[in-house]
Amino acid sequence: MRCPFCSAPDTQVLETRESDDGAVIRRRRRCAACGRRFTTFERAEIKLPAVIKRNGAREPYQREKLRASFELALRKRPVSNDAIDAAIDAIEAKLLASGASEIASDQLGEWAMDALKSLDKIGYVRFASVYRNFEDVDAFAQFLRNVKPRRRKKGAKETHPPLSEPGDLFAPTPTEADSDAAS
């Protein structure tokens, strides 16, 4: 392997380690010419399907784009990088198992949503708010109702009014309306 510092063709492998799952081999190397050390990683090159965007354009699948989407949705959430990588690995396994040469971005988005739903509900909602491209607040409110259906115990008094109608989302509560009328 060529040295990334001086471009000399002769490097010596000092140490070789396999990753826990056996998918990656890490090698520590030293250049014979300049003596500098560097690390290389080897993994099997697998041809993943091309992604067909909503506008019909085709582009190669990019793990980095999917990871960036996950990181944005899970920003400041208690989800480890290992959990994110495992979710993306599972999506890539589905891509490979499909055997297709192309896949719709909608399918990839649904798999991402499924993975996020099991990782973190807030991340799931954040991703969905962009991915699903809701037409209005009412549609988003309906989606939120479906994410976690409200459960009430028998005989429990409700502490806040239910969102029975999407249009009521921004309506004043009865106490706000009473205080506005009294003013």
User: Which H or E run contains 65?
Assistant: helix 63-73
Q: What is the pLDDT along the chain (183 residues), one digit of tens a residue?
A: 899 999 999 999 999 999 877 888 999 999 999 999 999 999 887 788 999 998 999 999 999 999 999 999 999 999 999 999 999 999 999 999 988 999 999 999 999 999 998 898 888 888 888 877 777 888 888 888 877 755 655 655 555 555 545 455 555 555 555 555 555
One-letter identity of residue 4: P
Q: Is the pTM of this model over 0.85?
A: no
Per-state percent for the chain, helix, strand, coil, to nearest 5: 45, 15, 40
Q: Contact, 111 vs 103, CB < 8 A?
A: no
